[in-house]
């Protein structure tokens, strides 16, 4: 594989340009395993207004470009041999996504790959299953990885020894903007939106699963709130399991504006306005897929892309 990538053991990094947050992951790769050494997150909310206007705002594009450039510098200071930068739903679906991408590339001095929904699901599956040492060979059935982002949700699972995926154009930011000012049951509205999105994608139903791994800010926040963490501790969140009823209880609690008006242990203030929609989507997905529980994983597509690109 002659692509110029140094695959020796060492430090590697990835940057995720998401609809809600832009994230940096730096890990040490050795003996076919990644160990995180540094993480950073900035809530740029790049996808704000996208569901209404179909476009990304120039101010948020500029903020995203500055964040990506800063993260490239951080990765370099930490000795990263290679840094992969990728974008997801906000860039994929925006009418001015190509222009936004060019601004970010120019500012960061780095190529940026736009992942398809299928590729995003595949990389999340690799990162989560490797991170939890679950179904490492990818051949076992019954395990599904659910990645709830700001603008879309990716599902990845194994069936009859094959990897399958589904990308749904619903996420915490998009649903909040769509239903934030509506009266009525958020659970019902999210369920209806999910049905329409799945049918619009040409499927009659969601996949079935016995157990789910949840990645992304919504799922890890649910774990942090369930644990009552006053200080966010990734090592506590990673591997934390919640049954379906507990996810529903948390979703209902976090969907109540009165409950999140004051600080909630485990909930970052930047996520308070979107966690209700995200948590409700998590519950509705789990319930419809027949999953009895969800295990949160800190390792996701950011680790997945490093494993994949290193051929590990």
Residue pLDDT, tens place only, 156-172? 998 888 899 999 999 99
Q: Where in the chain is the domain with CATH 3.30.420.40?
A: 10-114
- Cα–Cα distance between 15 and 36 in angstroms, integer? 13
pLDDT at 240: 98
Strand, coil or helix: 242: strand
pLDDT at 181: 65
Q: Where in the chain is the domain with CATH 3.30.420.150?
A: 118-296
Q: What is the overall mean pLDDT for the chain? A: 92
Q: Is the pLDDT of residue 2 over 70?
A: no
CATH dotted code for 10-114? 3.30.420.40
pLDDT above 70 covers a percentage of the chain that reads 94
Q: How is 61-112 classified by DSSP, letter by letter? A: HHHHHHHHHHHHHHHHHTT-SEEEEEE-HHHHH-TTHHHHHHHHHHHHTS--
- Cα–Cα distance between 75 and 307 in angstroms, integer? 17
pTM: 0.93
The mean-pLDDT minimum among 69-78, 103-112, 129-138 falls in 129-138
pLDDT above 90 covers a percentage of the chain that reads 83
User: 203 or 308: which carries more pLDDT confidence?
Assistant: 308
Residue 262 pLDDT grade (very low, low, confident, very high; cuts 50, 70, 90)? confident
CA quadruple 294, 298, 303, 307: dihedral positive or negative? negative
User: 163 or 180: which carries more pLDDT confidence?
Assistant: 163
Q: Is 118-296 in CATH node 3.30.460.80?
A: no
Q: Is the pLDDT of residue 137 over 50?
A: no
């Amino acid at each position: 594989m002659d692509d110029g990538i140094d695959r020796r053991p060492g430090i590697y990094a990835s940057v995720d340009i998401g609809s809600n947050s832009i994230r940096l992951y730096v890990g040490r790769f050795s003996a076919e395993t990644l160990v995180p050494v540094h993480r950073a997150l900035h809530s740029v909310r790049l996808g704000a207004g996208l569901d209404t206007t179909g476009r990304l705002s120039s101010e948020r594009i500029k903020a995203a470009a500055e964040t990506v450039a800063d993260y490239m510098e951080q990765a370099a200071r930490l000795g990263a041999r290679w840094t992969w930068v990728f974008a997801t739903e906000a860039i994929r679906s925006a009418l001015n996504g190509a222009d936004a991408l060019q601004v970010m590339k120019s500012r960061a001095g780095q190529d940026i790959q736009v992942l398809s929904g299928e590729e995003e699901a595949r990389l999340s599956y690799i990162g989560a299953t490797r991170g939890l040492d679950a179904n490492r060979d990818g051949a076992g059935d019954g395990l599904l990885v659910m990645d709830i982002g700001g603008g879309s949700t990716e599902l990845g699972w194994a069936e009859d020894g094959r990897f399958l995926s589904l990308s749904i154009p619903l996420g915490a930011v998009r649903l909040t903007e769509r239903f934030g000012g509506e009266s009525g049951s958020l659970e019902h509205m999210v369920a209806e939106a999910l049905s329409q999105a799945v049918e619009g994608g040409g499927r009659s139903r969601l996949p079935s699963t016995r157990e789910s791994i949840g990645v992304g800010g919504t799922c890890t926040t649910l774990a942090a709130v369930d644990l009552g963490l006053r200080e966010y501790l990734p090592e506590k969140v990673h591997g934390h399991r919640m049954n379906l009823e507990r996810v529903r209880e948390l979703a209902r609690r976090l969907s109540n504006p009165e409950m999140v008006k004051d600080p909630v242990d485990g909930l970052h203030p930047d996520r308070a306005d979107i966690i209700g929609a995200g948590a409700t989507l998590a519950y509705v997905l789990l319930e419809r897929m027949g999953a009895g529980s969800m295990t949160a994983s800190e390792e996701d597509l950011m680790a997945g892309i490093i494993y994949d690109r290193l051929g590990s």
